[in-house]
Every structure is written in structure tokens, then in C-alpha cells.
Amino acid sequence: MRQLIPALLAAPIALASQTVFSVHDDLLAFPQYEVIFSDSFISDVEAKLIIEQASSAVHDATPANTKGIESRQSQTTAHDSPHPEFDPLRQTYEIMYLHGEQHLCTIPIVDVPARNETSEAEARAAEQKELARATDRGWELLKDLEGNCLYFVSGWWSYSFCYNSEITQFHQLPPQRGKPPLRDPTTKAFVLGRAKGHESKEDEWGNQISVHKGKTHKEPPKTELQVKGDTRYLVQQMEGGTTCDLTGKPRKVEVQYHCNPHVTDRIGYIKEVTTCSYLMVVYTPRLCNDVAFMPPKENKANSIICHEVVDEDEIAFRTELKTLEAELDATAPKEKLANVGGLLVGAGKWANKEGQRLPIPAYFGQENEGKTVEIIAKGTSKAEGGQVEMISDAELQKLDLDPEMVDEFKKNLEQLAAEKGWKIEAVNQPGHTMEILGTVED
């Protein structure tokens, strides 16, 4: 089985990064290497010959120098034990030990370009120009977020972030499917920060309300572009939040916008870095429309290939043993899945065999977030004719109500009302269970 172990080696053959210097660069990270442990073996005699030739070679290996290795190659071909060809111009060889086992490792020679101070100065100037362009382009791409709000739930607290407006921390009511988190009015909410040019004041009940300026007078956001290594992202500082009880200063938050082509606009996380000072990271595919914000491409690492060194007499035996192990693994019975309550864990099958779908709640997706009242049955007084009206069973089922239960409730209410008028109402309020109320006229 092929094993991959990522490694960053400070080899004597590589002394510098190929990119322009940055304080965020790891000086020992380039060139990059990965260590690959080969499944094949190499004999101790063959490994010794390779090491001797490598130590005595001077860039131009003559046929006489490699004659011993070539003859050894022909001898080991029958054992299906390939090994790296000797090339002192492209690679070096080292004997390494892992858990007491000897390995012959082939290390590629990586050419590092000569340092050019002139080209580096030009690259820095071009980079500054590119950063200025990327900043303007980035905020232009984010304009489509105007008027949209993102939500994030973390334990007790929920957060709402309305782009270029404000960020609020609150405790939400019991969640409702298909609707954003709603603030529990019995708990206190905190504004973590407001965008530049965004104001707020209190209404007659003491609640904070937002006051937005017209688009023609709106000031540009207080923003900047930051670079860390190969990653570029936009930063917006939002200040003027609710006064902190511990510091006596307004809360503030730093919002970072990162390109992520694999998700929709969403809040990645939010954390309190210092007392009443927060960091929010927003992932958005919008920035990915500019290549400057795209995630850096992963550099392909140089491969260091290691072969286990075994005695010459054991090559045939070890090769046969490895073949036998592979055959046993192929014929071995697969591990049985755990059976829990009649279900096979990991089998990828549905627990509900009938495939029944739950009914969609009656008020699913409605924009009205207030209380809704619907009359499902009513009766006039005896003096007015005693007429009774009631919605159909199908409509009751749409409201997720049992027609038989409603009919029984109606009969009891009619007996209670006697000759008076009455009505039955279905009351639905966000965060509460639907209530059925019966009312008798005075």
C-alpha cells in the first residue's frame, strides 16, 4: 500500500522561496516535498552500489561507473523489485531509518532561480497596483448584498448581519423551518457594530430602530484589503455598537469577506477576540469573480521515494509474501455492519420504508411574522336564525387539524353557548404551538 507523508524539508539543495519575500512566508516551506514509501523492495547489495556510485560521481556518469548497477538491475528484474535509475544530475540518494528498518531514499535536485532584485522591485510595484484595483473591484462585487441579511446561530446566541448596515446579537425564539431566526422579545439584544454612515435612534417604547440614509448620500464603507501569504480578503470595520458593560466603550466588530466558490453567501463563524471586540468571517462566491481573491492553487510537492532495503537472499521470499498478503486481503470477508434496532448502520438505506412525507405546515414560508387568526367555524344566535358555518375537512387537514376533534369541540361549544352566538378560531403565533379558541358572544 502506498503511503504519503507530507514533509517540509530544509534541504541543502534549496535555500530560498521562488516568490517575492513576504513576512507571512515560511522561509523553509519551499521547495515542498512529500515522502512516498514504495511497496517494492531493493536489495542491500544494490543499495550499497547506488550509494557508492552516487558519492563518487561528478555530474557526468560514464558507462563504466554504472556498469555494476546495470548488471544488478538485470539480476533483480526477475524479482520484480524496481529501483530508481542512477542520475546524479537530477537526484541524490540517502540511507534512512524508520522504526529500525533501513530505506534507500531518492531525493530530487530542485533548481532555485537566482535572486533578481530588479525584478523583485518591479513585482512589488505591480502588486501594490493590483491590490488597489482588487479593493475597488471587490466592493463592487459585494454591492449585490445590499439589502440582504445573513444569519448565524451559535448556542444561546444568534446573529443577524445586514450588509453595510449593522450586526446584532440576540436570543431567538424556537426555530421555525423556512424562516430566519426571530428575536425573543423577553431577552436583551446587542448591536455589535454599525457600518459607517448608518444611524439609529430609539422609538417611543425605548427600542432601537435603524435610520438609513438615501443611497445618493450613502458614504462608502470603511474598508481595506488584507493579504496573508497567498490569501487576499476584504475587511470592513464596524463600530458604534451597544456600550459594553465591562469596558464602558461601544462594541465593535471586524468583518472579513473571503472568496469561497463552493458555498452561497454565509457567515463562517463569529468570535469575541477581546472583551466586546468581535471577528466575523463571511464566505461568498461573489468575490471569486475576480481572480485576485481566488484561493491559492496548491503547489505540487517534489516526491522523495523510499524503498525498503532487505537482504539479497530475502528478496524472493519477501516478494512472494507480499503477493500472498494481497490475495488474502482480496478474499477476506468484509466487516459486517452493526445492526441497531433492525437497521444496518452504514448501509445507506432509509429508515422509513414507506417513504411517507410529513405534511407542510400551514403557515410555512409566509412573510407575515405576526399572529394570524383564522375562523374555522361559527354559529349565529337563535334570534338571528342559528345558522352554522364550518370550513371543509380538507381545509382543516391543510391546517394540520383533525376534523373529528374540531367537530367534537364544536358540539361542546354549542351546548355551552345555548341560544347565543359562538365561533371557533385557530390562532398561530411565531414560536408558539397553534391554539384553538372557542368564544361565546355576550
Per the domain annotation, does 353 fall within a domain? Answer: no
Q: What is residue 418's predicted lDDT score, i.e. its pLDDT?
A: 86
Q: Do residues 202 and 268 both lie within one domain?
A: yes
Residue corresponding to grid cell 355576550:
442
Per the domain annotation, does 339 fall within a domain? Answer: no
Q: Do residues 158 and 98 both lie within one domain?
A: no
Q: How far is CA 165 from CA 137, 140, 290, in A?
A: 20, 16, 24
Q: Do residues 253 and 283 both lie within one domain?
A: yes
β-bridge pairing 277-284 and 252-259: parallel
Question: CB atoms < 10 A from the CB of 53, how many?
Answer: 18
Nearest to 18 by CA among 9, 5, 27: 27
Q: Determine contact, residues 374/362, Cβ cutoff 8 Å.
A: no
Q: Do residues 244 and 260 both lie within one domain?
A: yes
221: DSSP letter: P
Q: Enumerate the H helices of 23-152 as residue ranges.
A: 44-56, 63-76, 117-141
Q: What is residue 330's predicted lDDT score, i.e. its pLDDT?
A: 80
Q: What is residue 399's predicted lDDT score, i.e. its pLDDT?
A: 82
pLDDT band, very low/low/confident/very high, at 18 (cuts 50, 70, 90): very low
Please report the sign of the dihedral spanned by the C-alpha atoms of residue 34, residue 38, residue 42, residue 46.
Answer: negative
Q: Do residues 136 and 229 both lie within one domain?
A: yes
Q: Exposed, middle or buried, 396 (CB in 10 Å: 0-12/13-18/19+)?
A: buried
Q: Do residues 287 and 305 both lie within one domain?
A: no
Q: Say how far apart CA 323 and CA 340 lie, in whole Å.
A: 37
Query: Would you call 250 helix, strand, or coil by DSSP?
Result: strand
End-to-end CA distance of the chain: give it in Å, rounded.
85
CA angle, 120 then 124 then 125, to 5°? 120
Q: Determine contact, residues 108/90, Cβ cutoff 8 Å.
A: yes
Q: Do residues 289 and 306 both lie within one domain?
A: no
Q: Determine contact, residues 413/441, Cβ cutoff 8 Å.
A: no
Least confident segment among 60-69, 255-264, 406-415: 60-69
Cis peptide, bond prior to residue 63, ω within 30 of zero: no
pLDDT at 322 over 60: yes
pLDDT at 275 over 90: yes
Q: Do residues 241 and 261 both lie within one domain?
A: yes
Residue 202, domain CATH: 2.70.130.10
pLDDT at 22 over 60: no
Per the domain annotation, does 391 fall within a domain? Answer: yes
Structural domain including 43 reads 3-112+301-325
Residues whose CB falls within 8 Å of the CB of residue 16, separated by 6 or more in sequence, listed in order: 27, 30, 112, 115
Q: Do residues 283 and 311 both lie within one domain?
A: no
Pairwise pLDDT comparison (273 vs 211), residue with the higher score: 273
Number of domains in the chain: 3
Q: Compute the average pLDDT of residues 24-38.
A: 73
Q: Do residues 133 and 232 both lie within one domain?
A: yes
- 77-109 pLDDT per residue, tens: 333 334 445 666 788 888 999 888 899 999 988
Per the domain annotation, does 220 fall within a domain? Answer: yes
What does the block give as the cell for 237?
Answer: 470595520
Query: Would you call 118 helix, strand, or coil by DSSP?
Result: helix
- 378-423 pLDDT per residue, tens: 998 888 888 888 998 888 888 888 888 888 888 888 888 888 899 9
pLDDT at 16 over 50: no
- How long, in residues, is the chain? 442
Per the domain annotation, does 223 fall within a domain? Answer: yes
Q: Do residues 222 and 251 both lie within one domain?
A: yes
pLDDT band, very low/low/confident/very high, at 314 (cuts 50, 70, 90): confident
Q: Say how far apart CA 137 and CA 286 lie, in whole Å.
A: 11
Q: Do residues 19 and 78 both lie within one domain?
A: yes
Per the domain annotation, does 363 fall within a domain? Answer: no
